[in-house]
Amino acid sequence: MQGSKWLFRTHVHDGQLAELIPEYLVKTLGKTKPGIMAVADDYGLGASKGIQAALAKLKVSPAAVASYAPSDKDMSAQLLEIKDKGADSLILFGRPADVTLVIKQMNDLGIKLTTIGNSSIVAQTTLNNLSAAEADGGYAIGGMIPQTSTDAKIMDWSKRVQDKYKVPADNFTVSYYDTVYLLKSIIEKVGCDKAAIRDALAAAKDWKGMLISYQADGQGDLAHTLGIYRNKGKTPELTGPIKESGY
């Protein structure tokens, strides 16, 4: 990954989101004039650029492209700009803390737009701070989160994470957990030799994690299944899995 054969990635990454979000928005939800709002750092701006490129490939051009500083609290200026330019939907890319504010302020301003973005829209931290009316209807594509699982073991694990660490389990928590167990199973098989571990990771195929299975590709990425979620009130529902093309 990134030119090194020693670097692997066990969580879905924004490059995948940058492709899949526009695809779902345009092809399935039928929106053609999205406004883009991203947090202004490497994470958000990188995603924003990728999303704009993917939209261009779908022959769609965004109504407006806006960003906000990570510590900003008032995004109404950007939201008004997006509304003024006639957007019919909003692609939102940020972290739970700021995404909460954007959604809240969108509601306060009476702006109604179909909203889709990264997992921050359905993260527990975000939903804890929104009312049912504010959260309802938002779409997210991202790493699978534990809250929508019906498996009793997963729900119990989720609860224990919350109790012990005072923060809700999210898609990253699942990914870290899976990564540790993946390494454990590899080390049990091949021992502690660095090169052997690396080779085993590169050969990983269909390793079943908590919510998805992992498979290494030529670039060292192991996660290729994402979930499409939609908020029903304050509860995210799994609309379905979405796989990167070719998987």
Residue whose C-alpha is closest to residue 39's, from 22, 14, 12, 19? 14
Distance of closest approach, residue 157 Cβ to other proteins, in angstroms: 20
Residue whose C-alpha is closest to residue 140's, from 156, 117, 124, 157? 117
Instruction: Give SS3 for 92.
Output: strand
Among 48, 89, 100, 179, indicate the residue that binds other proteins (CB under 8 A): 100
Q: Which is nearer to other proteins, 106 or 204 (CB)?
A: 106
Binding to other proteins by CB under 8 A, coded x per residue (else -) over 177-196, reads --------------------
What does the alpha-carbon distance between residue 220 and residue 202 come to, in Å, rounded to a whole number?
7
Q: Does the protein bind other proteins through residue 132 (CB under 8 A)?
A: no
What does the alpha-carbon distance between residue 20 and residue 13 come to, in Å, rounded to a whole number?
11
Among 73, 159, 160, 189, indicate the residue that binds other proteins (CB under 8 A): 73
108's CB contacts (< 8 A; 6+ apart) are 76
Q: Does the protein bind other proteins through residue 136 (CB under 8 A)?
A: no
Q: Which single residue is written with the structure tokens 């060292």?
A: 220
Among 3, 4, 42, 188, indicate the residue that binds other proteins (CB under 8 A): 42
Q: Which is nearer to other proteins, 83 or 230 (CB)?
A: 83
The interface region with other proteins, picked from 15-23, 38-46, 203-211, 216-224 by CB under 8 A, is 38-46
* Total residues binding other proteins (CB under 8 A): 33
Q: Does the protein bind other proteins through residue 112 (CB under 8 A)?
A: no
Q: Fill in the amino acid letter for 75.
A: M
User: What are 109's two structure tokens?
Assistant: 């301003």
212's CB contacts (< 8 A; 6+ apart) are 144, 223, 225, 241
Using CB under 8 A, list all residues that contact other proteins: 40-42, 66-78, 80-81, 96-97, 100-101, 104-105, 108-110, 125, 128-130, 166-167
